[in-house]
Amino acid sequence: MIHEVIDSHCHLDFSKFNRDRHEVIERARKRGVSEMINSGIDYRTNADSIALTRKYDFIHATLGLSPQMVPHAKNEKIRQIISQIERNIDKAVGVGETGLDFYYCTNDPGREKQKDVFRQIIEIADNYNKTLVIHGRDGEDLALQMSKHLEKVIFHCYGGSLKTMERIVDMGHYISVPTLVCFSQQHKEIAQKLPLENMLIETDSPFLSPRKGRNEPAFVVDSVPMIANLKDIDTNDVARETVKNTRRVFEL
């Protein structure tokens, strides 16, 4: 039995949890998930993340603006979300998820808009000394370049190259290994080569389930024996170090 783990990135406020949210949270706690970081992606989910932290003292919020919504969002809406993040910064342990998603956005105007918004949110993280949580998909190199001056950076659900991973590690930043590691060869390779002192673990629930159907924070424990096996170390070492890293980077 794993004594304690932290799910460093989940979306408990999403509608997939509407019918049994409290039960899901309780189930995670019973499995040893002592804390959960709930990540906002837009105005509503930022507000809902803050509401969750008021209800549960072991849930912490990061306030973000997903790059996936940026290309299609009106500038006024983007301004509202950025203002909301800044206004509520004292209620957040980090800023994000935010970043660059060039996988879904392939046109130059959309990518430029993502870069512009990302710059603004990096500035908030910098000004308030908050941890930056990056969603980088096919834009990991540039995301690293843009945020390299920050002290506390997490590449959430990292799926980039091993070369970029090494550069992230060299800068002292963190990479969060998702429950995808239970079945994705690419994520197994990342987990195997990623130094334990730079590793966090996450579910990104309700997505990326290691089991059938919806993912949930309790399933973060599935990753621990898989990572331990890949690195040929004890499961408790993986649990202990990732907890320590999560607390350090978010200043919990």
What is the pLDDT, as a whole number, of residue 2? 77
What is the pLDDT, as a whole number, of residue 252? 97
Over the stretch 14-37, which tens digit does the pLDDT of each residue have? Answer: 999 999 999 999 999 999 999 999
> What's the rounded Cα separation, in Å, for the pair 86 and 124?
7
Please report, for the chain, the start and end positions of each structural domain, with discontinuous segments joined by +. 5-250
Cβ-contact 223, 6 below 8 angstroms: no
What is the pLDDT, as a whole number, of residue 3? 82
Whole-angstrom Cα Rg for the chain: 17
- Residue segments in the chain with a per-residue pLDDT below the cut of 70: 1
Is 5-250 a domain of CATH 1.10.150.530?
A: no
E strand or H helix at 96, and its extent? strand 94-101
Q: Which residues contact 146 (CB under 8 A, 6 or more apart)?
A: 115, 118, 119, 122
Helices H / strands E in the chain, number of each: 9, 8
Q: Dihedral through CA 196, CA 200, CA 205, CA 211, nearest 10?
A: 10
Backbone angles phi, psi at 175, to 5 degrees: -125, 130
Whether pTM > 0.85 for this model: the answer is yes
What is the pLDDT, as a whole number, of residue 62? 98
What is the pLDDT, as a whole number, of residue 1? 66
Cβ-contact 41, 97 below 8 angstroms: yes
Sign of CA dihedral 41, 47, 50, 51: negative
Over the stretch 121-154, which tens digit does the pLDDT of each residue have? Answer: 999 999 999 999 999 999 999 999 999 999 999 9
